[in-house]
Structure 1
Amino acid sequence: MEQQAAVIDTETFCCSICLDLLKDPVTATCGHSYCCDCIKIHWNEEDRRGIHSCPQCRETFIPRPVLAKNTILAALVEQLRTTRLQAAPVDLCYAGPEDVACDSCSGRKLKAIKSCLVCLASYCKKHLQPHYDSAAFKKHKLVEPSKNLQENICSRHDEVMKIFCRTDQKCICSLCLMDEHRGHNTVSTAAERAVRQRNLKVKREKIQQGIQDREKDVKLLQQELEAIKHSADKTVEDSEKIFTQLIHLIQKRSSDVKQQIR
């Protein structure tokens, strides 16, 4: 009950245009409130008609009303936003632009946790429950949330495509199989998915092994470079010692020769 009350309170303070919590809320003379930017955009589109209306009750205004910020409502919304960020239950996650929204939610929609390939709809935790409880939904195929459910429907026969044609490398429906794909090499989409996942796993392992082998080669090359560098440094050091000894020897010989001449 507390969760349901939280949902009602949240929706009360949502803009009916963007369906999000009010931002810089303003209130029209009819009493309905909107985000300042949302209602401005709405009325900008109505400017050419010269008559502006409330998106909810359709009351018209002539001339265009001057909007003023509703400071009390703004304070309440900010408090609600802070409270929701601090203690929002996991199962009350609202769908954002990148999320798949629940098709059964009214008003502001929650995130979908599954999509049904039979119903061609996505559901949040609450609206998905009948698929688990009712025998009528037991054979429905549930998948991860998808925005592209219509891609699973055959454009010719309006049937769910549950078959993969390996001959033509495409998904087809049962009616396609009886028509232009008769005699082709076909399997279920689930079987093809499993095969491709296995192949992808093998390819990924080969790539990872290749990366590991390259890393070993690079490490060996670095070790060889270090050995060559060490050898070169040792050679230079030995050469300097030999040249130093040679110079000392030449100087000694020169000194001996001078003494002999004297």
Structure 2
Amino acid sequence: MAESAASQYVDQFSCSVCLDPLKEPVTIPCGHSYCMSCITDYWGQKEQGPPYRCPQCRESFSQRPLLKKNTLIAEMMETLQKTSLQTAAVECDVCTTEKNRAVKSCLQCLASFCQTHLQLHYESPAFMKHKLVEASRNIQENICHSHGKPLEIYCQEDHQCICNLCMIDSHKNHSVVSVDSEWASKKKELKEIKLACQKLIQERERGQREISEAVKSFKSSALETMEDIEKVFTELICSLEKKHSEIKEQIRAQEKTEIDRAEELHKHLDQELTELRKRQARELRNF
């Protein structure tokens, strides 16, 4: 079952830049994932200056996002790739001349079969109860080393796959479920984790946008305030210069008025002094 799921999901975790399975996966703020080297090279191109864009959704970022390895996806890719390798090009164990590709492996027969030789498992009552799984190179990994039975049961207490005999032997009274049931549960859990991660990424992205908008608003407000202050100081300086000029003109006008008055008084005193001297001279002659 795990091998079947791997073949279905491995293509979903491919890098949209190189189109290969993700290597050192990183997730950027918009939620899309890429190989570390692919997105680094993509943003490192000369024409890829700020703003930096997502190759898929084209969302832009004013600053280059910090890239950190997505551990969850990395572990998933490692598991999926290992399982995919197990199922790749498995040959039929029954074919004698030209080996056909195996489509199923039997845990009871410990062999893999092509579509033709597999028919016996569907048609013969003796083989119908055999446990068939996706074709695998390492079929022995699905067999209990102690009892030689298929590992069809999962022990939830010891977190391992066991066979029917293990369940009544070393795992007696343990909480157990079928492997298929456990895999379905793990798949559901993985989906929930993925959704939680996407939600967390969206929340962090929203927070990042809010901070960016707040910084932009603060810068805009600060610039507007600086412009207002500059305008006020310019007007104040102009007003002071105008007042300074008016006061200088008033002082010059007052100075001219006082000088003119003083000169007029000085002229009048000269005339009086001249008359007094003439009068004095006449008095002296008559005396």
TM-score (norm 2): 0.50
Gaps of 5+ in 1: 1-95
Counterpart of 1:54 in structure 2 is none
Per-residue CA shift, 1:60-81, capped at 9, x if unaligned?
A: xxxxxxxxxxxxxxxxxxxxxx
Structure 1 position 101 matched with structure 2 position 90: yes
Offset at residue 245 of structure 1 (A): 0.9
Per-residue CA shift, 1:185-206, capped at 9, x if unaligned?
A: 2222122222222222222221
Q: What SS does the corresponding residue of 1:143 show, helix, strand or coil?
A: strand
RMSD: 2.8
Give runs of ≥4 in structure 1 deviating > 6 Å: none
Counterpart of 1:64 in structure 2 is none
Q: What SS does the corresponding residue of 1:103 show, helix, strand or coil?
A: coil
Offset at residue 247 of structure 1 (A): 1.6
Structure 1 position 205 matched with structure 2 position 203: no
Offset at residue 135 of structure 1 (A): 5.3
Q: What SS does the corresponding residue of 1:171 show, helix, strand or coil?
A: strand
Offset at residue 231 of structure 1 (A): 0.8
Range moving further from structure 2, 227-236 or 123-132: 123-132
TM-score (norm 1): 0.54
Offset at residue 127 of structure 1 (A): 4.9
Give the total of aligned pairs.
Answer: 167
Counterpart of 1:161 in structure 2 is 151
Q: What SS does the corresponding residue of 1:187 show, helix, strand or coil?
A: strand
Structure 1 position 223 matched with structure 2 position 213: yes
Q: Which has the higher contact order (CA 8 A, sep 6+)?
A: 2
User: Which whole-Å CA distance do the structure 2 matches of 1:215 and 1:138 have between them?
Assistant: 54
Aligned counterparts, 1:165-244, within 5 A: 165-244=155-234
Aligned counterparts, 1:69-80, within 5 A: none
Counterpart of 1:84 in structure 2 is none
Aligned counterparts, 1:1-262, within 5 A: 99-104=88-93, 111-125=101-115, 127-128=117-118, 130-131=120-121, 136-262=126-252
Offset at residue 112 of structure 1 (A): 4.3
Amino acid at match of 2:174: H
Contact 2:155–2:176 at 8 Å: present in 1 too?
yes
Contact 1:114–1:144 at 8 Å: present in 2 too?
yes
Summarize the Cα distance change of 1:150–1:205 in structure 2 as closer, same or farther, 3 Å threshold.
same
Contact 1:117–1:152 at 8 Å: present in 2 too?
yes
Sequence identity of aligned pairs in percent? Answer: 44
Q: What SS does the corresponding residue of 2:171 show, helix, strand or coil?
A: coil
User: Which whole-Å CA distance do the structure 1 matches of 2:97 and 2:236 have between them?
Assistant: 95
Offset at residue 138 of structure 1 (A): 3.8
Per-residue CA shift, 1:123-168, capped at 9, x if unaligned?
A: 4555555555655544444434433321111111111111112222
Amino acid at match of 2:249: Q
Q: What SS does the corresponding residue of 2:154 show, helix, strand or coil?
A: strand
